[in-house]
A and B are shown apart, each in its own frame.
Chain A
Amino acid sequence: MLDQSITALAAQLRNKDISSIELTRYFLERIAKLDPQLNSYITVSEELALKQAAKADQLIQQGNTNALTGIPIAHKDLFCTQGTLTTCGSKMLHNFVPPYESTVTSRLQQAGSVMLGKTNMDEFAMGSSNENSHYGPVKNPWNLDKVPGGSSGGSAAAVAAGLAVAATGTDTGGSIRQPASFCGITGLKPTYGRVSRFGMIAYASSLDQGGPMAKSAEDCAQLMQAMAGFDDKDSTSSETANDNYLSNLNTPLTGLKIGLPKEYFGDGLDSDVANVIMNAVKEFEALGAEVKDISLPNLNLSIPSYYVIAPSEASSNLSRYDGVRFGHRCEEPKDLLDMYMRSRAEGFGQEVQKRIMVGTYALSEGYYDAYYLKAQKIRRLIKQDFTNALQEVDVIMGPVAPTTAFDLGSKTNDPVAMYLEDIYTLSVNLAGIPAMSVPAGFVQNMPVGLQIMGDYFAEAKLLNVAHQFQQNTDWHLQTPTMAKGA
């Protein structure tokens, strides 16, 4: 069952070759056996999963199904799930049981999916390695000494190891694409505003975007079909009509214009990773696509701009954690200020405290124009680069990250080195365009993801491009050895 797509599993459920309860038990048993090595889940919601599976089986009996009915999936522990612990990877929320459901999880639940549990993540989605979780680091299923990528590393590791059919993730600066690349799965960061942020615990509100993580582009399309679309509970949700993400998957790629930005292939990119990406591009040429060299001249400015905008928004969003209404409160505060200051210092980890302070500094009197306003102006230059490029080509391709997954602990003492890992992903969030990571090969047995970027609301096109590649390659079908042992 490990290598079966959502479509194939849905057909088996519909034909009653298997029940959702059996399928759910299969995954719960795999989690019990393999997750002690990976640490990809913070909470396994076994009782709820079996209840939802029983309900799905009833719907199947009645012939009332769609593609997700009875399919066991996992949610990043950043989506609020009513009645199920939601920690955002933080000690601050170690006891938080949301009284409401996020739109994403609610829509996937209404489509009949079964929630296996909540996946581990960098605290408040801040990180590129999943080493910043209060619940300990997640391990990469391809090599347990390596990071799975962050911040949706738990979701990526769980899908790669066959501990869920698919999962939800969120991407503020690359947090769906980079772990998807490091773990050899397919992940889509939709256009900003395409998927509702209601009930997603906020990190940087003008950058955060939820999206699907799965084995294939087709499975991502199945999830998008349920989770995307306007939501009046999110004031930044787009009213642009939804596409049908499945019906477009088999469009031939003849004449597709692919742009290769020279800035994505310069110094800092591992030469073996570059070879994998160029081989993937050749595969697209064989499918009828045309390649054109392009330029995104402000790419280097995306890192400084992001590390002002994201921490500034975080310092504002995380001001709600004050020990009054929910979350951690320090022991015996002597007054209100002491309670705020100690609760926050005890509840937040170091990376979160650091970003809050960077943001507080950038927004403070006398520095606002030089930092925050300047970063917002550079953000427009970055958006303009993409807009110009996408007038010449249909999609842009390049690597997701400069290297494959790195060793656990190897970059924790050098925050700037860690931040530079995100060079190829951050600009996409600043511009708000959609982008995917698609498995494209291996370097020393570690997966490499190809990044495919497109114009605003071009998710259907990206999924089609990725699906056509996956119809002609088998990189997405590879399974880590540790996952075969259960």
Chain B
Amino acid sequence: MSIDKQDVQKIAHLARLALTEADAEQYQHSLSSVLSLVEQMQSVDTDGIEPLSNPLEMTQRLREDLVTEDNRRDDFLANAPQTEAGLFLVPKVID
């Protein structure tokens, strides 16, 4: 299976990755070879087989809806690239 450069740019946009033309060309080749590898699956008959998402087939545990952690805002803001007044700063979203 092969994909073209336009497909690569579309996937990259969905994945929020900025690719240069040269990057897109390189990934076109490597993505095509991985997608060809996974194509082998299509020859297997899986009708009537239930998909398996968790190997132990566990269901999610629930807990009481209670606050269990302390508010450590300053600790969590310490790793942020830009903060102000206890908030994360990002480029302007609304004009």
Contacts and interface: CB of A to CB of B under 8 A. Distances in A.
Nearest to A82: B75
A348 interface: yes
B60 to A, nearest CB: 6
B57 to A, nearest CB: 9
A357 B27 contact: yes
A432 interface: yes
Interface string B40-51: 111010100111
Contacts of B18: 338, 341-342, 344-345
A481 B56 CA distance: 43
A356 B50 CA distance: 26
A461 B72 CA distance: 43
A345 B17 contact: yes
B50 A380 contact: yes
Contacts of B8: 357
A417 to B, nearest CB: 10
Contacts, number: 168
B66 interface: no
B44 A378 contact: yes
B13 to A, nearest CB: 8
A96 B79 contact: yes
B14 interface: yes
Interface string B65-80: 0000000100110111
Interface residues of A, number: 72
B7 to A, nearest CB: 8
B17 A356 contact: yes
Nearest to A233: B68
B85 interface: no
Contact of A379 (B15, B17, B40, B51): B51
Contacts of B42: 370, 374
B37 A304 contact: yes
B55 A192 contact: yes
Most A CB contacts (10 A, CB to CB) among B15, B55, B79 go to B55
A300 B44 CA distance: 11
Interface residues of B, number: 51
B40 to A, nearest CB: 5
Contact of A415 (B30, B52, B79): B30
A159 B35 CA distance: 37
Contacts of B50: 377, 380
A357 B56 contact: no
A354 B34 contact: yes
Given A308-B38, A360-B11, A374-B46, A335 B92 contact: yes
A398 B51 CA distance: 27
A308 B1 CA distance: 15
A326 B55 CA distance: 32
Contact of A383 (B44, B52, B63): B52
A265 B18 CA distance: 44
Given A304-B39, A361-B11, A380 B51 contact: yes
A307 B37 contact: yes
19 contacts: A95-B79, A97-B78, A192-B55, A206-B53, A236-B58, A238-B58, A308-B41, A324-B81, A327-B79, A345-B17, A353-B17, A354-B31, A361-B31, A362-B38, A375-B41, A378-B46, A380-B50, A416-B34, A432-B56
Interface of A: 95-97, 99, 191-193, 206, 232, 235-236, 238, 300-301, 303-305, 307-308, 315, 319, 322-329, 333-342, 344-345, 348, 350, 353-354, 356-358, 360-362, 364, 370-371, 373-381, 383, 415-416, 419, 430-433, 456
Given A193-B58, A301-B44, A378-B41, 10 more contacts: A191-B56, A192-B56, A206-B53, A300-B40, A305-B41, A335-B93, A336-B93, A364-B11, A381-B44, A381-B49
